[in-house]
Amino acid sequence: MSVEVCAEDIESAKIACRAGADRIEVCSALDIGGVTPSLGAVRSTQRIASSHGVHVTVLIRPRSGDFVYSPQEIEIMIDDIKTFKALGIHGVAIGAINGSGRIDTIAMQRMILAAEPLEITFHRAFDFLEQEIKESIDVLADLRVNRILTSGRRASACQGIDMIRSAQELARDIVICAAGGINTLNVQEIGTSFANMNSI
């Protein structure tokens, strides 16, 4: 099982590295669900993580709120992806939904093209989709997404355990990452619940 830690400051990144995290997702404003971090924050985290052999993923989300983006916001995300890719990061966490509550495949294709050859994580926009789980996973597999972050479409991963297990069974080549409400008090419980899960 591998572990990814969200870090919105340098101290959090240092603690994650010392604790043995496999990946750090750099973000800002976790209190509102997380948005794209600053260039300086990513650069500093990348230096810390590389010295520990820890991979860095960057959250690409221009604002809080829903995941239905305007053409201008999509351009901003593409610019951010290209900027962070130049720093040598390992991946980006992205997600876009259209007005019908389905995966915005056109926006995703554009962002994935800009990110190549980085690893692609579809972030917790997954939990706001109105598509069936299997259809959502199939679409993301066709887009060649590497990971999906999900709380099982519930407030926390602990509450969404059953759906996360179902997603695992349908996952094809995508890694399903339990996310949401995971902390030092419940990480062991979640790890035990998902004995065959390879990422949280």
Q: Containing H/E element for 15? A: helix 10-18
The answer to the question of residue 38 being in a domain is: yes
CA–CA dist 192, 196 (Å, integer)? 9
The answer to the question of residue 61 being in a domain is: yes
The answer to the question of residue 198 being in a domain is: no
Residue 157 confidence class, pLDDT cut points 50, 70, 90: confident
The answer to the question of residue 199 being in a domain is: no
36 φ, ψ (degrees, to nearest 5): -60, 130
The answer to the question of residue 16 being in a domain is: yes
Q: Which two tokens stand for residue 190?
A: 């979640």
Which range in 27-31, 152-156, 165-169 is most confidently predicted, on average pLDDT?
27-31
Which structural domain, as residue segments, surrounds residue 131? Answer: 4-193
Q: What is the CATH number of the domain that holds 104?
A: 3.20.20.380
* Residue 191 pLDDT > 80: no
65: Cα separation from own chain's centroid: 16
Within 10 Å of residue 90's Cβ, how many Cβ atoms? 17
The answer to the question of residue 115 being in a domain is: yes
Residues 67-124 have pLDDT tens digits of: 999 999 999 999 999 999 999 999 999 999 999 999 999 999 999 999 999 999 999 9
Proportion of the chain above pLDDT 90, given as a percent: 76
Read off the pTM.
Answer: 0.90
